[in-house]
Structure 1
Amino acid sequence: MLLGFHGATTMTSDLQTDVAVSRQAGYRGLELWSAKVDIYLKSHSLAELKALFEENGVAPLSFNALEFVGFRGDDYPKIQERCQEMCKIAAAIHCPLIVVVPSPTEARWQLPWADVVAEYVSVLRDLSDIAAPYGTRLSFEFLGFGWCTVRTPRGAWEIVKQVDRANVGMTVDCAHLFAGGGLLDEIDALDPARVFAFHLDDVEDTCKEAITDNTRVYPGLGVIPLGELCARLSRIGYNDTCSIELFRPEYWQMDPLHVAQTCRAAALAVLSPHFQVE
């Protein structure tokens, strides 16, 4: 398994810092936070972005995220345009993957699940067509928050199966699985070849209704049964990438290198019993 850092874990640092601390802390990969890439490209070229990764020996693992793609309204052409823009960037720097996030919708409680599935199957097939010429894969990430339309591995997997495109898979995020009420045995039904990304994180001991991105903590310091979750991923044959995605503002105020090093040590303690980690 290739272990990577994640730009959301050091949100107040710039992209250059993320790449540098990833190298210094011993990571071989970095999941890019899209807003940081946008800022970097205001004053740098795509060639310079590619060189930034190559010179540091850090691979861009994925591009996070194309957000709120479902239940299309008048702004959907902007989502299509953004998808194409992200694909162009990803292709130029040899980043294989874009994370795609489902939408909130005020009518979610009235919508039959079949309508939710049909909407995302349609959207993901459309975005798949945009991404295909660039050789870019799309990884659909369920979100465990109460406002989200797709909250569990089972739900995301049902959609991905129906999309039935080679370049569309899914992301498993530990915090979202736990917060959204997903069951660990839902992992057993996944095809590891269609799990494109794995986000490792933990959360504070609080009721699930109170879980937010801000309640995330270093892996192993919270209440998610990470050992069992990783064991199940390993048993189905998943052995691709893992990035440590923490949104905790407290960590954003710390030295980025210290955070990256602490994340790596915590992740290795969780992952090593189940995976051979690079």
Structure 2
Amino acid sequence: MQMDIAVAPSVPDPLSVEMTVARSEAYLGGKLTMGRFDYCLNTSTIRSPGVSVLEYVDIAADAGYDGIEPWVEEIDAWVEGGGTLPQLRDHAAGRGIRIVNLIAFFEWAVPEADRHALGLEEARRCFEMAQILDCPFVATAPKGIHDREVDLFSVVRRFAELTDAVSNFSPKPLLEFWGVSRTLGTVGEALLVAAESGVRDARLLTDIFHMYKGSGHQRGMDYLDPGRLGLVHVNDYPSDPPRADIEDEHRVYPGDGEAPWDEIVASLVRQEYRGMLSLELFNPAYWAEGPVATARKGLAKLRACVEAV
């Protein structure tokens, strides 16, 4: 049954109209993303013997990146060599580089009690490090369960335990899946862990290569939103070797492979993602070209993919 109700004509709020028009214009003319994303460099992309994490910061800044994702092992090497975390933090800030996320590999999800305890201990160390560096996130990867099948609901419980264990630190876990992993290998599994854990602000770290390797497509991105998606690792993948055989070392520059960039960027724009796009590659051929050239080329190719949509 339909009821006829007289409704007074509404007067549009000028600010609301302005925002709507701006958003509509952003979707017109094929240009969805100009200026929407900031760009980050994962240091795996420019791995080079003898180059310190402080030098990686300079390379990223000189190339035009907004942020950097260092690995904990690189930071440990810096400290062991006489450097300090405050020095690294202040140097990055002085160069206008945000330390976005730490790449860590503590075994938070393993079922063995002794390994799990050690994993939580290492997690606390990494989160304390991130806090000193003013870094908002620490990657929480399926290390230790990637090579075997583990009950996913036990992983749910351990993710909640990890979150509790590091709750006194300001940085947050970024739940990461690996496409090569036998447990926690897809966006769907990561979403289940996040949803069932009861952790209200659980955030995911997605990766174009891992989505392809784990699921064979990028459409899992459509099930995320700005409050759930913390960071995106960007890269591309060739058609050869095939998906079953492809490995991290086969990652290529954005636009040089088969990834559907129009689909990926459109999905990020629809969900109004405002985080970083972080270039993560492990290609030995790129390492051989040197960190400076690789950093610059990678950013140019990434920007071209994003701005073409």
TM-score by length of 2: 0.81
User: Following the alignment from structure 1 to structure 2, what is the Cα–Cα distance between the partners of residues 166 and 272?
Assistant: 33
Distance change >3 Å, CA 29–CA 105, structure 1 → 2: closer
Q: Deviations over 1:35-70 (max 9, x none)?
A: 111101112122212222122221101001234432
Q: How does 1:205-224 map to 2 (within 5 A)?
A: 205-206=239-240, 207-224=242-259
Q: Kindly indicate whether the alpha-carbon contact (under 8 Å) linking 2:252 and 2:281 is maintained by their aligned counterparts in 1.
A: yes
The equivalent of 1:195 in structure 2 is 229
The equivalent of 1:49 in structure 2 is 88
User: Following the alignment from structure 1 to structure 2, what is the Cα–Cα distance between the partners of residues 86 and 107?
Assistant: 25
Q: Kindly indicate whether the alpha-carbon contact (under 8 Å) linking 1:30 and 1:62 is maintained by their aligned counterparts in 2.
A: yes
- By how many angstroms is 1:273 displaced? 4.3
The equivalent of 1:37 in structure 2 is 75
Q: Give the CA RMSD over aligned residues.
A: 1.7
Q: How does 1:34-183 map to 2 (within 5 A)?
A: 34-42=72-80, 43-73=82-112, 74-102=114-142, 103-104=144-145, 107-108=148-149, 115-116=151-152, 118-145=153-180, 147-183=181-217
Distance change >3 Å, CA 106–CA 187, structure 1 → 2: closer
User: Following the alignment from structure 2 to structure 1, what is the Cα–Cα distance between the partners of residues 218 and 197?
Assistant: 23
- By how many angstroms is 1:105 displaced? 5.7
- By how many angstroms is 1:130 displaced? 2.3
- By how many angstroms is 1:231 displaced? 1.3
Distance change >3 Å, CA 44–CA 191, structure 1 → 2: same
The equivalent of 2:45 in structure 1 is 9
Q: Deviations over 1:80-109 (max 9, x none)?
A: 11111111111111000001111436651x
Match 2:56 to one of 6, 18, 33: 18
Instruction: Provide the aligned length of Structure 1 versus Structure 2.
Output: 267
Letter in 2 for 1:178: Y
The equivalent of 1:225 in structure 2 is 260
User: Following the alignment from structure 1 to structure 2, what is the Cα–Cα distance between the partners of residues 105 and 199?
Assistant: 19
User: Following the alignment from structure 2 to structure 1, what is the Cα–Cα distance between the partners of residues 52 and 87?
Assistant: 15
Higher strand share: 1
Match 1:250 to one of 265, 268, 285: 285
Q: Kindly indicate whether the alpha-carbon contact (under 8 Å) linking 1:132 and 1:167 is maintained by their aligned counterparts in 2.
A: no
- By how many angstroms is 1:163 displaced? 1.8
Over the matched positions of the two proteins, sequence identity in percent amounts to 24
Greater Rg by CA: 2
Match 1:237 to one of 266, 272, 281: 272
Distance change >3 Å, CA 211–CA 68, structure 1 → 2: farther
Q: What runs of 5+ residues in structure 1 fail to find an aligned partner?
A: none
Distance change >3 Å, CA 260–CA 126, structure 1 → 2: same
- By how many angstroms is 1:202 displaced? 0.6
Q: Kindly indicate whether the alpha-carbon contact (under 8 Å) linking 1:65 and 1:101 is maintained by their aligned counterparts in 2.
A: yes
Q: Kindly indicate whether the alpha-carbon contact (under 8 Å) linking 1:138 and 1:167 is maintained by their aligned counterparts in 2.
A: no
Partner SS for 1:193: coil
User: Following the alignment from structure 1 to structure 2, what is the Cα–Cα distance between the partners of residues 61 and 251?
Assistant: 23
Letter in 2 for 1:15: V
Q: Kindly indicate whether the alpha-carbon contact (under 8 Å) linking 1:144 and 1:151 is maintained by their aligned counterparts in 2.
A: yes
- By how many angstroms is 1:184 displaced? 3.1
Q: What runs of 5+ residues in structure 2 fail to find an aligned partner?
A: 1-36
Letter in 1 for 2:276: T
Letter in 1 for 2:220: E
Letter in 1 for 2:170: G
Q: Kindly indicate whether the alpha-carbon contact (under 8 Å) linking 2:106 and 2:122 is maintained by their aligned counterparts in 1.
A: no
User: Following the alignment from structure 1 to structure 2, what is the Cα–Cα distance between the partners of residues 199 and 9?
Assistant: 11
Q: Kindly indicate whether the alpha-carbon contact (under 8 Å) linking 2:235 and 2:251 is maintained by their aligned counterparts in 1.
A: yes
Partner SS for 1:209: coil
- By how many angstroms is 1:23 displaced? 0.7
User: Following the alignment from structure 1 to structure 2, what is the Cα–Cα distance between the partners of residues 63 and 5?
Assistant: 12
Letter in 1 for 2:102: F
Partner SS for 1:3: strand
Partner SS for 1:202: coil
Letter in 1 for 2:83: H
